[in-house]
Amino acid sequence: MEIDRLIEGCRVAVGGDDAEKHVRELVAEAVADRPALIAALAEPAHAGLVILHRAPDLTVLDFAWAPWMCFKPHDHRMWSVVGIYSGREDNVFWRRTATAIEAAGARSLGAGEVTTLGRDIIHSVVNPIGKLTRAIHVYGGDFFAPPTPRSEWDPETLAERPWDMEDTRRLFAEADVRARRSEQ
Ligand SMILES: [Fe+2]
């Protein structure tokens, strides 16, 4: 599927009923034809995220997780749909306790697989393989300006703290450097 068609389809979907369901179908269709998606999206020079579309009601991101990268628990405050088109993304799902969070489940997503995350889901992500994992993430809102402030949790103590986008960029950059070093 062409990226423009995916984005246009998502734009129409978020304006109608059952937006998550329709977006999921579109993402599933896109990641079903992985060669087309890989050809349409530039090979990333670095781990990180590329904004394909950003609006108040819809964000479409192209994620590249560095090899072996672990990403801290966080929530989104909006629904999202994740579709993997290269590699693997292991998700741990967390639930709140009186003082922190505890692991509640896990799901490993491989190329061609899609999942929907509800607006209050807390998850952390691991790329369990030694190459980039690439995924389309669609959010039912502006990912960079959530309607209520997003949280993240310290990966060691599991203490809640405000989401820190700069720390997120730093984590991707560090993971990228580590992966390049291990290649040498
Ligand atoms: Fe997330």
For residue 2, is pLDDT > 90? no
Structure token pair of residue 95: 């639930």
**71 C-alpha vs ligand 1 centroid, how far in Å?**
9
Structure token pair of residue 106: 């896990």
For residue 184, is pLDDT > 80? no
Percentage of residues in the chain with pLDDT exceeding 70?
Answer: 99
State the pTM of this model: 0.93
Structure token pair of residue 72: 């801290």
**36 C-alpha vs ligand 1 centroid, how far in Å?**
25
Q: Distance between alpha carbon 86 and the CA centroid of its chain, in Å?
A: 13
Helices 19-32 and 3-14, packing angle to 10 deg: 170
Q: pLDDT tens across 70-118, in order?
A: 999 999 999 999 999 999 999 999 999 998 999 999 999 999 999 999 9
**184 C-alpha vs ligand 1 centroid, how far in Å?**
30
Structure token pair of residue 59: 């964000």
**8 C-alpha vs ligand 1 centroid, how far in Å?**
23
